[in-house]
Structure 1
Amino acid sequence: MSNKQQHASAYWKENIKYLVILLLVWFVVSFGCGILFREELDTIRLGGFKLGFWFAQQGSIYVFVILIFVYVRLMNKLDKKYGYDE
């Protein structure tokens, strides 16, 4: 395997690692907080609503949008690291 192929392979390996971590965070927030841990979270109130309900209705969407910005920042750093930036 050439150096260029190793470089590209390392880039994609790191990219996939970021994707897996961020999707795992989103899964835990959306499925975990909205469904699995709902009863425990419902003992806490946020703006008059039970926290489990809030995560199911709003929180997972907010987290998803934040994760998009985190992914963009990580990818910009990764592109610079591997010389793929413009």
Structure 2
Amino acid sequence: MSKQAQHWEKTRALLFITLAIWAVFSMGIFLFGAEMNEVGGPFGYPLTYWFTCQGSLGIFVILIFWFANRQEKIDEEFGFSEKGGD
């Protein structure tokens, strides 16, 4: 298998993992949130709404940095890094 094909395999696997995490935190909260709607959150909003808005955004920011870090490591492993020593 060529170096580019191996790089693409690892990149694609990382992409699928990232999309799975994104799906859980963007849609999964709604599936199990109906029970939490009775609990009041800050400023009178239902707790589900609060977790979805605040928690998901925090997770998405963390996910962006995690993905970029992992992708950079994959790129360095196969010699495709954008960090130039020039």
**TM-score bucket (shorter structure):** 0.7 to 0.9
Would the aligned equivalents of 1:45 and 1:51 in 2 still touch at CA under 8 Å?
yes
| Equivalences, count | 81
Task: Say whether residues 1:37 and 2:54 are aligned partners.
Answer: no
Would the aligned equivalents of 1:42 and 1:51 in 2 still touch at CA under 8 Å?
yes
CA shift, 1:64, in A, is: 1.2
1:66 to 62, 72, 80: 62
Amino acid at match of 1:77: K
Give the TM-score normalised by the residue count of structure 2: 0.75
For residues 11 and 39 of structure 2, what CA distance do their matches in structure 1 show? 36
| Structure 2 unaligned regions, length at least 5 | none
SS of 2:80's partner is: coil
Greater strand fraction, Structure 1 or Structure 2: 1
Please, which moves more after superposition, 38-47 or 20-29?
38-47
For residues 40 and 14 of structure 2, what CA distance do their matches in structure 1 show? 32
Give the TM-score normalised by the residue count of structure 1: 0.75
Q: Alpha carbons of 1:58 and 1:81: their partners in 2 closer, same or farther (altered >3 Å)?
A: same
For residues 7 and 76 of structure 1, what CA distance do their matches in structure 2 show? 16
Residue in 2 that maps onto 1:18: 14
Cα RMSD over matched residues? 2.3
| Structure 1 unaligned regions, length at least 5 | none
Kindly, what percent of the aligned residue pairs are identical? 32
For residues 47 and 65 of structure 2, what CA distance do their matches in structure 1 show? 24
